[in-house]
Amino acid sequence: MRYVSTRGKGGNPRFLEAVSEGLAPDGGLFVPESMPDISKLYPTWENLSYPELCFEFLRLFADDMPEADLKKLVAASYKNFDDAQIAPLRKLSDKLYMLELFHGPTLAFKDFALQFLGNLNEYILSKTSRVMNVLGATSGDTGSAAINGMLGKRGVNIFILYPEGRISPLQERQMACTGADNVFPIAIRGTFDDAQAIVKELFGDLEFKAKWNLGAVNSINLARILAQCVYYVYASLRLPKSERENATYIVPTGNFGNVLAGWLAWKSGMPAGGFKVATNQNDILFRLFSTGVYKIGKVEPSYAPSMDIQVASNFERFIYFLLDRNSDSVRNVMETFKKTGSWKFENFKAENFTSSRMDDARIADTIAKVRRDYGVTIDPHTACAFADLSGDSSKVVLATAHPAKFPELIEKATGVKPVSPALEALLSRKIEKTVMDADAQSVRSFIESRGIK
């Protein structure tokens, strides 16, 4: 399998090279040159375990890796999940299901991709005798999942910046209590935007970037998307056969990585009736799917912070398919959007996507109602997926985080504080972090003293 850039000038790499590059050299995102057809393989996949299915799916896309190596990486990536099913599909009522994606080490769905990417990075570095310093900024979930994915990996040090005092104490502990000596959480005296600006500045210093082989952890990496396709296929195979063809997958959405993965699995022949993009009050995608106009808004902090985005970084991949793989058109859309902050699609085809939105006022009520109606506790991101359950096809709600990551809001909504033994265990561990002013030079010096070379 070869990959092409959405902007048409990114070469024609195979899987491992596309993963190493992250962003394509022309500024676009890598997509498969053609989609494999998995529908014929479906009958042979019925009873596979999660790692078995993951291997069978990914080998179609990563055919430049020896199969034994891929199998080993996949097994290692899902061994730290606390449910034997890895992604259990729970039945809530007739034709309503919840796919639990929070059984990984940091209790959010990002573990599915970042555990795999951590192992894959280590593998690629060992093959090329190189080392890498991963640098990123986080407002919460991505940082902890990336750190956990890289824990103790050979040849990789990871530096994650976050705004001091502005992420939840549990989220900070997930990053700062790992005990691993290749992990460096950096609390910046400033905002998330300050942290992000420092990361951008250091990536923009090409000499520094090359010298320290800086690596990114953002959600545009091809390997992240492909690893996320697998749990859709797994869920589909757990549904009764008669329900698979019409099932709608409802996905709490921010950067559009998760729901795009499901849609790509469908494009490859997974049976599905549709995909619902569930947003919070930051609803740029809801407005797009209702009106065909993609127009940037202001980010409002919400109860579902991992969905608080302005511009969905993976959306460019959908635009590429929407515009019939015409990369000149993609470049035109992206350039105009960057300049003017909006784009109107003529004859917009939603291509099997629908959308819903939920503002903060309804999130707490929804958490309470879902507990009353179905006896399960959901987190505020997952709550957004319950905005609209109309229609009589089967529905699969993707539960993207464990409720115990948001104890205060959930206790307020339901009267019961959710707990997770993994998070409780963090409370007694020592916090190891470095606090710094919001100043790129300080971060640069820190990497120069602690970076791997």
Map the footprint of ligand PLP across residues 33-62, applying CB under 6 A: none
Number of H helices, E strands in the chain: 20, 15
Residues sharing a CB contact under 8 Å with residue 321, sequence separation 6 or more, in sequence order: 31, 267, 351
Residue 258 is a binding residue for ligand PLP (CB under 6 A): yes
Contacts with ligand PLP by CB under 6 A: the residue count is 16
**What H or E segment, with its residue span, contains residue 426?**
helix 421-426
Map the footprint of ligand PLP across residues 401-440, applying CB under 6 A: 401
Strands 293-295 and 342-344: antiparallel
Alpha helices in 41-168 (DSSP H): 42-45, 50-61, 67-77, 110-128, 141-150
- Give the residue, chosen from 254, 271, 274, 451, that forms a contact with ligand PLP under the rule CB under 6 A: 254
DSSP single-letter state for residue 295: E
Q: Which stretch binds ligand PLP (CB under 6 A): 55-63, 67-75, 252-260, 340-348?
A: 252-260
CB of 211 to ligand PLP, least distance (A): 31
- Binding to ligand PLP by CB under 6 A, coded x per residue (else -) over 216-235, reads ---x----------------
- Residue of 68, 100, 103 whose CA lies nearest to 83: 103
CB of 314 to ligand PLP, least distance (A): 7
Residue 215 is a binding residue for ligand PLP (CB under 6 A): no
CB of 132 to ligand PLP, least distance (A): 23
- Residue of 5, 34, 8, 39 whose CA lies nearest to 22: 5
> Is the Cα dihedral 56, 58, 62, 67 positive or negative?
negative
Q: Which of 110, 153, 405, 433 is catalytic?
A: 110
Residue 255 is a binding residue for ligand PLP (CB under 6 A): yes
CA triple 51-132-182, angle to 5 deg: 80
Q: Which stretch binds ligand PLP (CB under 6 A): 253-261, 337-345, 353-361, 443-451?
A: 253-261
Residue 141 is a binding residue for ligand PLP (CB under 6 A): yes
- Give the residue, chosen from 119, 281, 302, 306, that forms a contact with ligand PLP under the rule CB under 6 A: 306
Beta pairing partners, 158: 134, 183
Amino acid at 263: W
Is 110 annotated in the active site? yes
Q: Which residues are catalytic?
A: 110
Residues that bind ligand PLP (CB under 6 A): 108, 110, 141, 219, 252-258, 306-307, 381, 400-401
